[in-house]
Amino acid sequence: MKRVLGLLLVLGIMFAAIGGLTTARAATTDTFTITVTVNFIEMTLRNTTDNADYTTWAIPQMSLAASAPMADLSGVYVDLLTTNQAVDIKTWVSTQGDWTVQPAPGASQYSLIATGATAAEVPGWTGAASLGLSGAKQTIIPGATTALSHFLYYKFYSPITVGTGSQQSIEVTV
């Protein structure tokens, strides 16, 4: 019995010693942070003096086979607001009336070209892009950022002949 008590005493001391030891362990969870900025485009079309939204370029009555360029103060100011990335400013004819848009004027066919600028003045028409096919998007100002102002100017070429002299409405998208 003494022997059993002695063995129990030794085992008790061993268990106490082992149980009293602490083991260093790593945390079972940890955290990290994700930061992300989403690219976004915010744009509005304004008049060149930036005091009203741009809605209509009203071309006065004109002759057949004539052209009507936008004047300096008739341009479209493309305000990129808080856009946080470079964007290509594109434009195209999105809807049209009885006439169709073509690269060159013809019978009931008009032509429309566009050019871009960083100031409210017509930069000239050399190198202007033709909006000659409905829905064909043309890049007018590549890589535009909020660091500069951006303006679009258009030049309209009337048809050579028409079947009707009624007013036409042409929708252009930017």
Can you tell me the distance from the alpha carbon of 100 to that of 136, in angstroms, rounded to the nearest whole number? Answer: 13
Q: Is residue 148 part of a domain?
A: yes
- Asked if residue 10 is part of any domain, the answer here is no
Res 12 pLDDT > 60:
no
Return the SS3 of 154: strand
pLDDT for 136-160, tens place per residue? Answer: 899 999 999 999 999 999 999 999 9
- pLDDT confidence of residue 24: 62
The parent domain of residue 169 ranges over: 44-173
Query: Biggest alpha carbon distance in the chain?
Result: 128
CB 113 within 8 A of CB 128: yes
Burial class from Cβ neighbours inside 10 Å (0-12, 13-18, 19+) for residue 68 reads: middle
- Over residues 54-100, the pLDDT tens digits come to 999 999 999 999 999 999 999 999 999 999 999 999 999 988 888 99
The mean pLDDT value of the chain amounts to: 87
| pLDDT reported for residue 97 | 82
Residue 158 lies in a domain: yes
Has residue 5 been placed in a domain?
A: no
CA distance linking residue 36 with residue 38, whole number of Å: 6
Asked if the structure places residue 34 within a domain, the reply is no
Q: Kindly write down the DSSP assignment for every residue of 45-103, as one continuous string.
A: EEETTSSSB-----PPP--TT-EEEPPGGGSEEEE-TT--S-EEEEEEEEE-SSSEE-S
Kindly report whether the global pTM for this prediction surpasses the value 0.95: no
Q: In this structure, are residues 47 and 17 in contact, taking their beta carbons and an 8 Å threshold?
A: no
SS3 164: coil
Amino acid at 32: F
**Cβ pair 84, 40 in contact under 8 A:** yes
Give domain status of residue 86, yes or no: yes
pLDDT at residue 16, as a whole number? 55
Q: What is the pLDDT of residues 15-31, one digit of tens each?
A: 555 555 556 667 789 89
Higher pLDDT, 23 or 162: 162
Share of the chain above pLDDT 70, in %: 86
Asked whether residue 83 is domain-assigned, the answer is yes
* Residue 95 pLDDT: 81
Residue 25 lies in a domain: no
From CA 33, how far away is CA 48, in angstroms rounded?
Answer: 44
The per-residue pLDDT for 20 is 55
Please determine, for residue 9, whether its predicted confidence score (pLDDT) is greater than 60. Answer: no
Q: Total structural domains in the chain?
A: 1
The letter for the amino acid at 66 is A
